[in-house]
Structure 1
Amino acid sequence: MSAGRLLRALAALLLALGSWGPATAHQPSDSLLELRVQGERIELAWDIALKDLDAELDLDADEDGQLRWREVLARWPDIEALAAAGLRVGPSGGEACTGLRGLRPQLIEHGSGPHVALRAQLDCGRPPERLQIAYTLFAGSDPRHRGLLRLQGADAEHALSAVLNPREPARDFALAAGHAPGFAAFVVEGIWHIAIGFDHILFLVALLLVCVLRWDGRAWQPATAPRAAVAEVLRIVTAFTVAHSITLSLAATGVLAPPSRWVEAGIAASVLLAALNNLRPLVQGPRRWMLVAAFGLVHGFGFANVLQDLGLRQGELLAPLFGFNLGVELGQLLGVALLLPLAWALRGRAVYRRGVVGGGSLLIAALAAYWFIERAFELG
């Protein structure tokens, strides 16, 4: 492929990322599903984000931008019907358990905002040895949605955790004691989370664009030593990884739980400052990766949104936490592997330094400023 085509591909990638806008920036859509099997009955606790239900059912009847409890109550039968259609639980090879109707309307608050709380006793007719779960909530409208499952069988000391993808077929779960958490599923979820977290992606893109350049005090110039460029990338990725792994662990285990609003605003601010630093570099050398580490602490709290509401005990948390973090790192490394060779091949062209780095950083900065205002002042 010629350098011109490579340049056009890189520019198109930046425009595509920017065109997704704030609606897709690190706003994961997750419901929290807990099932406790007790003989032929199953205790169900299912929390679905109110913002997701509003997007699906248009609950804001007066369209004033404020969702009120009376508006939720007026559509409660529709909420129940949507939930009942989106979840089928039953013994493997048997009839579905019944009881996901006629529930008391209630809300519960999680770090990501208010959730509708569905509490029910499901009747399965017989004690299941294996449980089949078909999860299809929002399957046709939101490809980012996931169900975070905690399943407890006869052994109260052990539980299984898994991520349910609405577009996957029904899954069978063994209820034997000591069943290990779904490690591989959380690796996949970590990769998926970084793929849809466009604010995280743009933060790394802004940092990586100039790793193949050097600042001479007036303008960006192409780097001449590939080893130095690779070393700079390794320092940045390592600093970011170590920092966000620390706060991801602290938040997921409940040690620290800052308000989601300020975490999301802080992530937007980190993207904004990284992009502005490309336009007028004020932080270079070792200070740059130290700043990346500081921002990585904030990003770690954002990554933890997927795990911190699962309610896992300490012994159950290790595999999901490690698997999810591993998936995040694999997703980051894939992005670096795609972007870095392309940037290195184009670094000598003025249009890369002025158009891609300059224009791309302006686009990223404008988008990040929009995100910051929207999140800090809760305008979305």
Structure 2
Amino acid sequence: MKAVALALLLFPLAALAHKPSDSYLHLDRSGTGFTGRWDVALRDLEEVLVLDADGNGAITWGEVRARQADVAGYALARLKLSSDGAACPLTSAAALRVVRHSDGAYAVVDFTAACAAVPRTLDVDYALLFDRDPQHRGIVRVGSDGAGEPLVLSATRHTARVSLEGLSPWRRFGQMVHSGIEHIWAGVDHLLFLLALLLPSVLQRDRETGRLVPVADFGAAVRDVVKVVSAFTLAHSLTLSAAALGWVSLPSRWVESAIAASVIVAALNNVFPWMDRTRWLAAFALGLLHGFGFASVLADLELPAGSLAVTLFGFNVGVELGQLACVAVFLPVAYLLRATPVYRRALLVGGSMVIALVACAWFAERAFGVGVSFI
């Protein structure tokens, strides 16, 4: 019954199977105002506007074109720009277009923002989709001269002030640390993979009976966690760097599907152990896949080459800080519960099975595609 209750709690995570909901907002200086391009996923617009008029599971260009005024109106009503304390009203500037990103079709809303005077700072207040999806992110770039400021706005950080006189390396580093922390905490697949690897850390297998018994002291659990987390960190840092530098490129669908498969493997290993003393090797091997997933976040930011080193380091630091915070919460609680049947049966076995079940749903969606498509 405990395992069933845990399943009911975790099953809604299957809804997070696809790539996190993002939109891409580009703002360029133009006279005393700005020109803007806003790419919003059709799958997200379908949730709020029901673009698929005939309900056949496929959104056609005709269906999008018939609702272009609604799409532009919905998006622009959820963005406020101001400069030096004065509002910069937004006006739709062109007919709607549709483009494809790595994760599907996006509607493109072109607009202008008219400011009262030549702007020196820009205040952005972003509110798209947060009422529907708290995990949604607005990836905003101001300027197209190679020094534009990348911003990642979220439900907890939906406003930002941008200096139009340049961005210092330290400020960019701080932004990317924050982005890395947000990504690891919002990336449910990465967190469940880490949890699956950590669950056995407070237990050890008795050599005579083969049964799992509690570790003798907290230090033994810490040493096991250090090995697993270090291997995962080293692996994803290698592939994150390689992908961000353009040395390796893999299709997004393949990477996201492989990440889901890695969660299944890590979870099932807790129930049917074939990598007991070498879990750190599994963490390294499967962590290589997760690095490509992290790299897709940086690719979405379209960062200028000159800031790549600072950006890469800052994002990696943020990811590690996010992981360490999760470990710091998990390990003491797991250690206290390690000798109880609740931990060994409900959490280790039952929890791992639920994690594997959720990851199977992710894999099915990512590998084979589920949901509304654009044709």
**TM-score normalised to the size of structure 2?**
0.89
In structure 1, runs of 5+ residues without a counterpart are 1-7
* The one of 153, 164, 176 aligned to 1:175: 164
* The one of 219, 225, 235 aligned to 1:243: 235
In the TM superposition, residue 273 of structure 1 has moved relative to its aligned partner by: 0.8
Task: Give the 5 Å matches for 1:135-150.
Answer: 135-150=126-141
* The one of 282, 292, 316 aligned to 1:291: 282
User: 1:69 and 2:61 equivalent?
Assistant: yes
Q: Which residue of 1 aligns with 2:196?
A: 206
Could you report, residue by residue, the CA deviation over 1:217-263 in whole angstroms, capped at 9, with x for unpaired residues?
74322222433321111011011111112222333344433222211
- Shift of the 167–21 alpha-carbon distance from structure 1 to 2, 3 Å rule, reads closer
Say whether the 8 Å CA contact 1:111–1:305 is kept in structure 2.
no
- Shift of the 136–222 alpha-carbon distance from structure 1 to 2, 3 Å rule, reads same
User: 1:53 and 2:48 equivalent?
Assistant: no
Could you report, residue by residue, the CA deviation over 1:177-235 in whole angstroms, capped at 9, with x for unpaired residues?
45445433332232222222221111111111101112247432222243332111101
Q: Which residue of 2 aligns with 1:4?
A: none
Hey, what's the Cα distance between the residues in 1 that align with 2:147 and 2:175?
A: 18
Say whether the 8 Å CA contact 2:33–2:88 is kept in structure 1.
no
User: 1:185 and 2:204 equivalent?
Assistant: no
Hey, what's the Cα distance between the residues in 2 that align with 1:84 and 1:219?
A: 60
Q: Which residue of 2 aligns with 1:197?
A: 187
After the TM superposition, which of the residue ranges 330-339 and 255-264 deviates more from structure 2? 255-264
Say whether the 8 Å CA contact 1:110–1:309 is kept in structure 2.
no
After the TM superposition, which of the residue ranges 242-251 and 232-241 deviates more from structure 2? 242-251
SS at match of 2:76: helix
Hey, what's the Cα distance between the residues in 1 that align with 2:350 and 2:147?
A: 53
Matched AA of 1:96: C
After the TM superposition, which of the residue ranges 122-131 and 227-236 deviates more from structure 2? 122-131
- Shift of the 39–195 alpha-carbon distance from structure 1 to 2, 3 Å rule, reads same
Hey, what's the Cα distance between the residues in 2 that align with 1:353 and 1:208?
A: 13
**TM-score normalised to the size of structure 1?**
0.88
Hey, what's the Cα distance between the residues in 1 that align with 2:9 and 2:288?
A: 23
Say whether the 8 Å CA contact 2:18–2:365 is kept in structure 1.
no
Matched AA of 2:174: A
Say whether the 8 Å CA contact 1:191–1:331 is kept in structure 2.
yes
Q: Using CA pairs below 8 Å that are at least 6 residues apart, which structure has the higher relative contact order?
A: 2
Aligned length: 367
- Shift of the 183–24 alpha-carbon distance from structure 1 to 2, 3 Å rule, reads same
In the TM superposition, residue 15 of structure 1 has moved relative to its aligned partner by: 4.8
Hey, what's the Cα distance between the residues in 2 that align with 1:157 and 1:332?
A: 31
In the TM superposition, residue 354 of structure 1 has moved relative to its aligned partner by: 2.3
Hey, what's the Cα distance between the residues in 1 that align with 2:157 and 2:192?
A: 29
- Shift of the 351–134 alpha-carbon distance from structure 1 to 2, 3 Å rule, reads closer
In the TM superposition, residue 147 of structure 1 has moved relative to its aligned partner by: 1.3
In the TM superposition, residue 322 of structure 1 has moved relative to its aligned partner by: 2.5
Matched AA of 1:24: L
Hey, what's the Cα distance between the residues in 2 that align with 1:300 and 1:12?
A: 33
Hey, what's the Cα distance between the residues in 1 that align with 2:194 and 2:356?
A: 13
Could you report, residue by residue, the CA deviation over 1:59-105 in whole angstroms, capped at 9, with x for unpaired residues?
12222222222221121111100121122223222231443x14222
- Shift of the 255–56 alpha-carbon distance from structure 1 to 2, 3 Å rule, reads farther
Matched AA of 1:209: L
- Shift of the 27–208 alpha-carbon distance from structure 1 to 2, 3 Å rule, reads same
Matched AA of 1:346: L
In the TM superposition, residue 167 of structure 1 has moved relative to its aligned partner by: 5.5
Say whether the 8 Å CA contact 1:30–1:306 is kept in structure 2.
no
Q: Which residue of 2 aligns with 1:90?
A: 82
Q: Give runs of ≥4 in structure 1 deviating > 4 Å.
A: 11-17, 166-170, 178-181
Hey, what's the Cα distance between the residues in 1 that align with 2:110 and 2:93?
A: 10
- Shift of the 117–56 alpha-carbon distance from structure 1 to 2, 3 Å rule, reads same
Q: Which residue of 2 aligns with 1:328?
A: 319
In the TM superposition, residue 169 of structure 1 has moved relative to its aligned partner by: 6.2
SS at match of 1:187: helix
Say whether the 8 Å CA contact 1:265–1:372 is kept in structure 2.
yes
* The one of 349, 352, 356 aligned to 1:365: 356
User: 1:276 and 2:268 equivalent?
Assistant: yes
In the TM superposition, residue 125 of structure 1 has moved relative to its aligned partner by: 4.5
SS at match of 1:143: coil
Matched AA of 1:113: G
Say whether the 8 Å CA contact 1:39–1:128 is kept in structure 2.
no
RMSD (Å), alpha carbons: 2.5
Hey, what's the Cα distance between the residues in 2 that align with 1:147 and 1:39?
A: 25
After the TM superposition, which of the residue ranges 119-128 and 234-243 deviates more from structure 2? 119-128
Say whether the 8 Å CA contact 1:27–1:197 is kept in structure 2.
no
Q: Which residue of 2 aligns with 1:352?
A: 343
Q: Which residue of 1 aligns with 2:154?
A: 165
SS at match of 1:27: coil
In the TM superposition, residue 344 of structure 1 has moved relative to its aligned partner by: 1.5
After the TM superposition, which of the residue ranges 258-267 and 40-49 deviates more from structure 2? 40-49
Could you report, residue by residue, the CA deviation over 1:36-61 in whole angstroms, capped at 9, with x for unpaired residues?
21332423222222222122222122
